[in-house]
């Protein structure tokens, strides 16, 4: 009797909670970070029955929170002690460039950290016009590696005699006031032999000029910059290519939003086009007769080529020659898509509304879309046809390629074991599943060093790379296994705590060009950004569990409600990104700060929300190309990296014309698509663990 009354009371209480408006439920929740957790609470509101509870030891959660609190408190105490001690013995001042931007923090009374001014004056200077004829009519102009401005005839240059690098005099003088190394090769300039600085009188133009450099030395510098001359390196243009992708400030958030409108609409267009049906059973049968198999294979290649023409080719054009028309095409695509959906709905075609596609199919299209964007950009960025504003930013800013690693982390979290409410794995299984990423990280490090491949040190560090970041996040989430219902809260706490450390001075350390000899200092960007990616991963687990793998993930009515929640979450995260970018700290992929995490969430949820419009568009809900890429995502990424390296080592990408660059990019993308498609046709999964 008591149990029956208790059940009746519980059912009445549940009915009362469900009948309450959403705003009333939100007002009852008190969170330490209101705006983020309010956005996350939208995903928690579920009209369907709640999924079975996740059995996680409370002690493990308490341990994780304790570790975070200890780390944050320790860092705060160390920083405050250092700051107070320093302020008592000296006064600090900011050193600024000629444009007024802060470059570093130096004390007034401490000795200068740059080279001796007397030694600086020994490095020779000369006008560019005096050595221009020695370049033998090369096809491209030289530029200063510091300001990225091409040398002009009246430019005064300073020549570093030890490493044979040359810069604008004003640029290198400002650099050497706070550094003792060459900004390109990092060679110590205070160890120059005396004979390299011996003054010599030379005539460099019609007027006799006293210089400290001889013509053979200048000729050696020209030879080192000339890609047509013999060079023992596999990559003679390494420094030029590194500078080509360095010191960039990115694009704007509206342009990122516009690109995110265009890209998924291409997928919707392909889905709306009737295609040749290739059944999965026909791909696995091995005893079919030859003519039928040949016919199916031809149909498969034709369909795959059509997918490539509709999805990949327009995307590549929007990233290159049509980049200046982004806003126009975004508005056009949005209007045409809405008109098309309205026309089909008003026409009474309800057949495609009766059976909505599973939300997991949308996530598949989303993950494939992220992969296509990635393998197109990693090669296109090395050509001049690719806008510099789409390349990765140096410190702060937003760009298309900045979203890459964050999108990979978020895509993995949405379909992870935690998001699917599966049990935790043992530490041996976790290490075994992560070992391929670690091996790939070391292989990439060895190959890039062995062939002298260009590496942007400011991206992850000297030795760190993309694979190490994914492996570190995977190991961290495996050892600290958190229940999905708590991932949103703990992820928000991790991000807020990490952002607090950044604004308290950690960002100055991470964004500084100064590096020590220890592993932590040389890879500071990659190591410290793990906290940001881990927080992003936890938020993705929460979203995946509540939106995709919850009990409401089927049925048209629930699917429409989920679609609306994804749209609302995307808008809220965009608004939150703007607020954080203006009032807390600018977006920085290099540190993976809180504004960057919210921008990645907003952009990827926008992609997913547009892909969810497929329920309103008649036609197939997937394509052959998407299915092939989805079954071999990691193999696609590895093959793309190999092809990118081969192109860079065999082609001078900096001097390639626009037509040549487009042809190379089209051939590269088509080869990649065809190879992965053929592998999938024969039922092969390139997974070696």
Tally of CB atoms within 10 A around 63: 12
User: Which of 71-80, 161-170, 191-200, 629-638 has the highest average model confidence (pLDDT)?
Assistant: 629-638
DSSP string spanning 59-80? Answer: HHHHHHHHHHHHHHHHHHHHHH
Q: Give the tokens for residue 90.
A: 């000296």
Percent with pLDDT over 70 in the chain:
67
The rounded mean pLDDT for the chain is: 75
For residue 419, what pLDDT is reported?
85
For residue 209, what pLDDT is reported?
35
CATH 3.30.40.10 residue spans of the chain: 117-244
Q: What is the mean pLDDT of residues 262-284?
A: 67
* pLDDT of 1 above 50: no
Instruction: Provide the strand spans (E) within 237-396.
Output: none
Question: Strand 165-168 to strand 208-211: parallel, antiparallel, or no bridges (unpaired)?
Answer: unpaired
DSSP string spanning 252-295? Answer: -HHHHHHHHHHHHHHHHHHHHS------HHHHH-SS--HHHHHH
Q: Give the tokens for residue 604.
A: 């990827």
**Lowest mean pLDDT across 44-48, 317-321, 389-393, 629-633:** 44-48
For residue 172, what pLDDT is reported?
86
Q: Give the tokens for residue 281.
A: 């059973």
Options 3.40.47.40, 3.30.40.10, 3.40.50.1820, 3.65.10.10; CATH for 117-244 is 3.30.40.10
pTM of the full predicted structure? 0.68
Query: Which H or E element spans position 413?
Result: helix 403-414
* pLDDT of 39 above 90: no
* pLDDT of 19 above 50: no
Q: Give the tokens for residue 522.
A: 């040389």
The residues near 187 (Cβ < 8 Å, ≥ 6 apart) are: 162, 163, 181
Q: Give ∠ CA 686-688-689 in degrees, rounded to 5.
A: 135
More reliable by pLDDT, 188 or 157: 157
According to DSSP, the residues that pair with 158 across neighbouring strands are 125, 167
CA 561 – CA 582 distance, rounded (Å): 32
* Band of residue 61 on the pLDDT scale cut at 50, 70, 90: low
For residue 28, what pLDDT is reported?
42
More reliable by pLDDT, 436 or 10: 436
Q: Give the tokens for residue 290.
A: 């030859």
Angle 253-272/359-380 helices, nearest 10 degrees?
A: 120
Q: What is the mean pLDDT of residues 567-580?
A: 95
* pLDDT of 667 above 90: yes
- What pLDDT, in 10s, does the model give residues 494-517? 999 999 999 999 999 998 877 888
* Band of residue 22 on the pLDDT scale cut at 50, 70, 90: very low
Q: What is the mean pLDDT of residues 132-157?
A: 71
For residue 542, give the nearest of 68, 27, 42 by alpha carbon. 42
Q: Which residues of 21-53 are buried (b: 16+ CB within 10 A; e: fewer)?
A: eeeeeeeeeebeeebbbebbbbbbebeeeebee
For residue 454, what pLDDT is reported?
77
**Lowest mean pLDDT across 66-70, 185-189, 515-519, 660-664:** 66-70
The answer to whether 610 touches 265, Cβ cutoff 8 Å, is yes
Query: Which H or E element spans position 474?
Result: helix 466-479
Percent with pLDDT over 90 in the chain:
33
Rg (CA), the chain: 29
* Band of residue 564 on the pLDDT scale cut at 50, 70, 90: confident
* pLDDT of 410 above 90: yes
The answer to whether 174 touches 153, Cβ cutoff 8 Å, is no
* pLDDT of 102 above 60: no
- What pLDDT, in 10s, does the model give residues 549-562? 765 555 444 677 88
Q: Give the tokens for residue 573.
A: 């995260």
């Amino acid at each position: 009797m008591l149990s029956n009354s208790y059940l009746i009371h519980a059912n009445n209480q549940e009915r009362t909670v469900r009948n309450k408006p959403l705003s009333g439920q939100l007002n009852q929740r008190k969170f330490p970070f209101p705006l983020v957790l309010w956005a996350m609470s939208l995903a928690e509101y579920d009209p369907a029955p709640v999924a079975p509870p996740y059995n996680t030891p409370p002690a493990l959660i308490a341990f994780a929170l304790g570790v975070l609190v200890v780390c944050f408190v320790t860092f705060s105490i160390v920083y405050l002690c250092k700051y107070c001690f320093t302020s008592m013995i000296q006064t600090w001042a900011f050193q600024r460039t000629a444009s007024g931007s802060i470059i570093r923090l130096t004390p007034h009374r401490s000795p200068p950290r740059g080279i001796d001014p007397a030694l600086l004056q020994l490095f020779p200077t000369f006008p560019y016009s005096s050595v221009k004829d020695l370049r033998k009519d090369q096809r491209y102009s030289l530029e200063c590696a510091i300001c990225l401005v091409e040398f002009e005839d009246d430019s005064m240059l300073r020549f570093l005699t030890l490493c044979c690098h040359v810069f604008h005099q004003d640029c290198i003088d400002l650099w050497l006031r706070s550094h003792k190394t060459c900004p390109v090769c990092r060679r110590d300039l205070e160890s120059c032999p005396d004979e390299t600085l011996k003054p010599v009188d030379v005539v460099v133009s019609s007027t006799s000029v006293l210089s400290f450099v001889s013509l053979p030395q200048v000729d050696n510098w020209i030879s080192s910059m000339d890609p047509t001359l013999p060079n023992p390196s596999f990559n003679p243009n390494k420094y030029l290519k590194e500078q080509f992708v360095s010191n960039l400030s990115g694009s704007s958030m509206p342009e990122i939003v516009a690109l995110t409108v265009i890209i998924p609409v291409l997928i919707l267009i392909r889905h709306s086009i009737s295609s040749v049906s290739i059944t999965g059973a026909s791909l696995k049968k091995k005893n079919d007769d030859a003519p039928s198999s040949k016919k199916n294979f031809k149909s498969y290649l034709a369909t795959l080529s059509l997918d490539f023409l509709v999805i990949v080719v327009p995307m590549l054009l929007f990233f290159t020659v049509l980049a200046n028309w982004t806003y126009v095409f975004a508005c056009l695509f949005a209007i045409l898509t809405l008109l098309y959906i309205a026309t089909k709905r008003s026409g009474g075609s309800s057949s495609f509304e009766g059976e909505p596609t599973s939300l997991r199919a949308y996530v598949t299209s989303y993950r494939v879309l992220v992969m296509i964007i990635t393998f197109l950009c990693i090669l296109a960025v090395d050509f001049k046809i690719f806008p510099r504003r789409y390349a990765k930013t140096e410190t702060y800013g937003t760009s298309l390629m900045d979203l890459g690693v964050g999108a990979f982390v978020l895509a993995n979290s949405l379909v992870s074991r935690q998001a699917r409410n599966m049990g935790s794995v043992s530490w041996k299984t976790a290490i075994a599943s992560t070992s391929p990423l670690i091996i790939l990280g070391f292989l990439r490090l060895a190959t890039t060093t062995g062939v002298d491949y260009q590496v942007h040190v400011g991206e992850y560090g000297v030795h760190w790379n993309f694979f190490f970041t994914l492996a570190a996040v995977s190991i961290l989430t495996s050892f600290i296994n958190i229940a999905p219902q708590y991932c949103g809260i703990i992820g928000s706490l991790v991000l807020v705590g990490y952002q607090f450390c950044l604004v308290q001075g950690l960002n100055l350390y991470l964004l500084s060009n100064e590096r020590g000899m220890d592993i932590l200092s040389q890879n500071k960007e990659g190591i410290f950004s793990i906290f940001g990616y881990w927080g992003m991963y936890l938020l993705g687990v929460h979203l995946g569990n509540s939106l995709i793998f919850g009990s409401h993930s089927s049925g048209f009515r629930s699917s429409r409600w989920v679609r609306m929640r994804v749209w609302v979450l995307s808008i809220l995260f965009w608004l939150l990104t703007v607020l954080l970018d203006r009032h807390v700290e600018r977006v920085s992929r290099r540190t993976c700060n809180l504004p960057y995490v919210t921008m990645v969430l907003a952009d990827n949820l926008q992609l997913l929300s547009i892909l969810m419009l497929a329920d309103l568009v008649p036609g197939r809900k997937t394509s052959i190309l998407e299915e092939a890429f989805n079954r071999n995502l990691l193999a696609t990424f590895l093959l793309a990296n190999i092809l990118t390296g081969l192109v860079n080592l065999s082609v001078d990408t900096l001097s390639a014309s626009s037509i040549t660059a487009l042809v190379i990019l089209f051939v590269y993308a088509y080869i990649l698509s065809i190879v992965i498609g053929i592998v999938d046709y024969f039922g092969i999964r390139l997974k070696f663990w």
